[in-house]
Structures are given as C-alpha cells and as structure tokens.
Amino acid sequence: MLRTATLVLLGCALLAFSAVRLAAQSQAQQAAAQTASTLTVRVAGLRNAKGTIRLTLYRDSKPVETRNLEIEAQTLSAKAVFEKLPQGVYAVYVFHDENSNGKMDTNLFGMPVEGYGMSNNPSKRMGRPGFDETNFQLNRPESTIEIALIYW
C-alpha cells in the first residue's frame, strides 16, 4: 500500500512539474512573439522609374538581408516590409540601380551617378556615413521609416 501511494505521489508530482514547465514555455513563446517587430521602409524621391531599388538591412552593423524593390512608377517610390524581426539596433542602406546591373555606379572621381540613401537621412557629403549615424532602435511592434534618395 505504501508503495502504491508513493507511486501515485510521484505521478502527481511529475504531472505538476510538466504543467508548470509547459506554462513557462508558453509564456516564453508569447514574450518572444511580443518582442518581434514589423519594419516598413519607404523610399522616396526617385528621379525616374527605371531599374530597381536595392535595399540592404543591417542589424548591429552586419548585413541581414538584401532585396531588390520594384519602383512604383506613379509615385516614384518603393516599399519593403520586414516581418518578425527581433527588436534591436538596425540600419538601412538603399540605392537606385537605374541600369539594373546590381551595383552602385560611380563616375571617374568615385562620386555616385545613381541615387542613394540611408536610414536617418544623413546629409549629402563625401564618403559614406557610418553605422553610428544611420542606426535606429527597433523596439515597437510596428515601425515605419522613410528614406529620401540623394542624387549628385
């Protein structure tokens, strides 16, 4: 009888432990879902509808994803939506690949001949701004940024 009671108690303890563990896993999954964000990037100020917009998303100064975006001819703009991003520090770099060759074209002096832009819209100047100037905190469920292209 003592042995049966011990087995029943052990079984109940295992069931209780399993229930607590399952509840903790469920809470962890819900917390992870709440810390995921959707980022919408709008690119504006295109001078024409030729080619594509090449966009690279960075997290903590490392490239995460590169996309080619179609240009909306009527508005001369483009849009990308990134879903289920972990919250953190990001930056976005874009350029208008007018001739669709997959690279930023420059003149003999190294000046871009295609439009470009970055998150936080740093001012036009020689040289590419660093991650510290272009990064932003993604810490809400949904965020939208707009990047205005620069042409020389």
pLDDT digits (tens, 9 = 90+) for 69-124: 999 999 999 999 999 999 999 999 999 999 999 999 999 999 999 999 999 999 99
The total number of structural domains that make up the chain: 2
Q: Are residues 67 and 131 in the same domain?
A: yes
In three-state secondary structure terms, 128 is coil
Both 27 and 100 in a single domain?
Answer: no
Structural domain for 76, as ranges: 36-148
Q: Beta-carbon neighbour count of residue 107 at 10 Å?
A: 9
Q: What is the pLDDT of residues 22-49, one digit of tens each?
A: 455 545 454 444 589 999 999 999 999 9
Residues linked to residue 86 through DSSP beta bridges, in sequence order? 36
pLDDT for residue 12? 45
Measuring CA to CA, which residue among 34, 45, 31, 39 is closest to residue 58?
39
Asked whether residue 103 falls in the same domain as residue 42, the answer is: yes
Cα-based angle 78, 83, 88 (whole degrees, multiple of 5): 105
Of the candidates 86, 145, 152, the residue with the CA atom closest to the CA atom of residue 125: 152
Q: What are phi and psi of 128, to 5 degrees?
A: -85, 130
Residues 107 and 86 in one domain: yes
Full-model pTM? 0.78
Q: For residue 11, what pLDDT is reported?
A: 52
Q: Where are the beta strands (DSSP E) in the chain?
A: 36-44, 52-59, 62-69, 78-86, 88-97, 116-118, 136-138, 142-148
The reported pLDDT for the residue numbered 151 is 97
* Pair 12, 45 in one domain: no
Decide: 106 and 112 in contact? Cβ < 8 Å: yes
Q: Are 141 and 76 members of one domain? A: yes
Give the tokens for residue 54: 């090449």
CATH value at residue 132: 2.60.40.10
Note the pLDDT of residue 34.
59
Total number of residues shown for the chain: 152
- The whole-number pLDDT of residue 126 equals 87
pLDDT of residue 17: 52
pLDDT given for residue 52 in this prediction? 98
Is the model more confident about 101 or about 21? Answer: 101
Q: Phi then psi for 99, rounded to 5 degrees? A: -100, 10
